[in-house]
Structure 1
Amino acid sequence: MDISLEVSAPVLDESAGTGSGWLAARGAPVGGGLRRSGTIGAVFDSPNFAEVSAARLTESAWQRLRAEAAVLEYSWAESYRQLVEAAWAEPVLRALYPFTSHWGLRFSTATGPLMVAVGPVLSANGDGEFGVGTGILATSNLGRFATAGEAVAWAVRELPPGVGPVRLGGPVRPGGEW
Structure 2
Amino acid sequence: MRTNTTSPFSFLQSLATRFQPPAWVVDEGQQKIVLFLNHVLMQEKEAQNRLLRKKGSVVHVRWGVFALDLVITPAGLLDRAAPGVKPDLLLAVTAESPAVVMQSVMAGKAPPVKIEGDVQLAAELGWLADNLRWDLEEDLSRIIGDVPAHTLAGFARQALAGLRQFLAQALVPAASPAGAVAVPPVPEPPKATS
Q: TM-score, normalised by structure 1?
A: 0.28
Instruction: State which structure, 1 or 2, has the greater radius of gyration over its C-alpha atoms.
Output: 2
More strand by share: 1
What TM-score comes out, normalization by structure 2 length? 0.26
The structure with the largest helix share of the pair is 2
- Taking CA–CA contacts closer than 8 Å with sequence separation of 6 or more, which of the two structures ends up with the larger relative contact order? 2
